[in-house]
Amino acid sequence: MAREATSQVSASKGGTDVHATHIENGLLPSVVIKGQPLAAMKLTDRMQHYHVPGVSIAFFDHGQIVWARGYGQADVLTGRPVAPETLFQAGSISKPIAAMGALRLVEQGKLRLDANINETLKSWKLPENELTREQKVTLRRILSHSAGLTVHGFSGYARGELVPNVPQILNGEKPAASEAVRVDTVPGTTLRYSGGGLVIMQLMMMDVTGKSFPQLMRDLVLGPIGMSHSTYEQPLPRNLWPEAAVPYDAKGEPVEGGFHTYPEMAAGGLWTTPTDLARAAMEVQREYAGTSHKVLSQSMAHEMLTHQKDNWGLGFELEQPGGTPRFGHFGVNTGFIATLQAYRDTDQGIAIMTNGQQGEQLITEILRAVSREYGWPDFHPVEHTLVNIDPATLSSFTGNYLLPDPDGQDKLAVTLQNGHLYLSGSYSVGSTYHFEISAPAELLPDAPQQFFTLSTGATTFRFAKNDQGTVETCIIQACNSCENQRQARKTP
């Protein structure tokens, strides 16, 4: 499916288009080799590589949209181009925007951050159990993903499918396609991402106001901020279809059933643009600084951007300990991937939205280019130093490696060709990282028994020997995090 990416510019200030042009031509890989030049890539080429038809970007600085551009097609069939006003599904970026609405209701005295949610809920109650005997599910814990609730996310409903109401979703009753939202861990003890918790918050907000969620969010957040190209209406009203991007799967084919309906509105139901997401982030920056209070007071904005559980605030994901203060969120819906990233104190940030299922890989390459262009402290490529290893040892690493997986789908093959090791197969690490290596990727050594590739992100493959000195396992580690580690065992 050939396509030519086009660009429209909606906002610029002297010379700032140069930055955008540098970024368009300077996307960076996730991994680089020390001493070798950076291999800058063109945005249009990478869009084709990842089968992502359209991209929309807005960069902001000190309360202003500095530049906003659209690339490629919102609809490949008609050739309709992406414009800065094109609507995309925000996926889980819906959560922090919805959190702003909930926190405004807290300031109005209609919700309480630290009360048992069952004291507020009217139309449905969360079943209590022995895990909630002493520790309760609260709004604070829901927003910081520490409430002990189940259901990570939702896949939405294709056009023509029956759509459940909120109680049906929370109870896992047909026509809901997801499991019931329940407590299976003591609230407050563990960080575990739960979109199900945000659906409970959605119902709480509706119960205490008597308003529909889309109307409520218009009144509390979207209207005051000026997010005029945004709505939580699900399904998207037909009169807005001409403005909406068409979603595409990982192969670049239109998603069957068109864009999905998400009745889990607070968790994933926002339709918006990068410019409108930028407006939301800029308002949070201003509120934190005390120069605006269109939605939240300064003290509540501080609460929102305070680490509650690990690297989560109230709705936003925050920087890791010791990092430069930053808030943001990724969003993944069927056929739509997006991100919003903003620095709390320097007042810069960016929103990127795509209509392709492989948009996350593309977005991370864009973020690395943005980071280099503007001197950001985050989103840098991982640098590896190559080491020399004895060629005679390479054959000991070859073989098939199987990962513990109920479906038996995660397996790797290591082969030796012309004195070089190559990796193929598929593997998952944690709940976020999944790689399909269809064409063999060269394994490059950065330690005597540790390797990396240029195509699998910041993942390392460390081979371990048994007591007899035979290579027995391959330890796969993603993003230098021990929590994102899996062990594959060599098969006979």
Q: Per residue of the chain (492 residues), what is the pLDDT tens digit?
A: 333 334 443 333 334 589 999 999 999 998 889 988 888 999 999 999 999 999 999 999 999 999 999 999 999 999 999 999 999 999 999 999 999 999 999 999 999 999 999 999 999 999 999 999 999 999 999 999 999 999 999 999 999 999 999 999 999 999 999 999 999 999 999 999 999 999 999 999 999 999 999 999 999 999 999 999 999 999 999 999 999 999 999 999 999 999 999 999 999 999 999 999 999 999 999 999 999 999 999 999 999 999 999 999 999 999 999 999 999 999 999 999 999 999 999 999 999 999 999 999 999 999 999 999 999 999 999 889 999 999 999 999 999 999 886 555 688 999 999 999 999 998 876 544 567 787 899 999 999 999 999 887 778 999 999 999 999 999 998 764 445 678 899 998
| pLDDT value of residue 301 | 98
488, β-bridge pairs: 474
CA distances 261 to 77, 161, 204, 234, Å, are 21, 9, 21, 6
- Say what the pLDDT of residue 1 is: 34
Answer yes or no: are the C-beta atoms of 65 and 272 closer than 8 Å.
no
Helix (H, G, I), strand (E, B) or coil at 389: coil
Of the candidates 298, 270, 268, the one whose C-alpha atom is nearest the C-alpha of residue 283 is 298
What the block records as the tokens of 186 is 């003591």
Please state, in angstroms and rounded to a whole number, the distance separating the CA atoms of residues 299 and 110: 17
Q: CA dihedral defined by 231, 309, 486, 430, rounded to 10 degrees?
A: -10
Q: Which of 269, 146, 131, 136 is nearest to 199 (CA)?
A: 269
Strand partners, 11: 68
Q: Is domain 386-490 given the CATH code 2.40.128.50 in the classification?
A: yes
- What is the per-residue DSSP string for 270-333? -EE-HHHHHHHHHHHHHHHHTS--SSS-HHHHHHHTS-SBTTB-SSSEEPPTTSPPEEEEEEEE
Indicate the SS3 state at residue 353.
strand
Asked whether 373 and 379 are in contact (CB, 8 A), the reply is no
Domain boundaries, the chain: 88-374, 386-490
pLDDT value of residue 5: 39
CA distances from 301 to 288, 406, 441 (A): 5, 44, 46
The reported pLDDT for the residue numbered 481 is: 44
CB 72 within 8 A of CB 356: no
The span from the CA of 397 to the CA of 63, in Å, is 54
Q: What are 343's two structure tokens? A: 């620095």
The hierarchical CATH code for the domain 88-374 is 3.40.710.10
Distance, C-alpha 395 to centroid of its chain: 39
Question: Chain centroid to CA 466: how far?
Answer: 38
The candidate with the shortest Cα–Cα distance to 146, out of 397, 370, 319, 314, is 314
In a 3-state reduction of DSSP, which class is residue 454?
coil
**Integer Cα distance of 476 and 488 in angstroms:** 7
Question: Could you tell me which residues come within 8 angstroms of residue 183 by beta carbon, excluding any fewer than 6 positions away?
Answer: 126, 127, 128, 129, 131, 132, 137, 147, 148, 149, 150
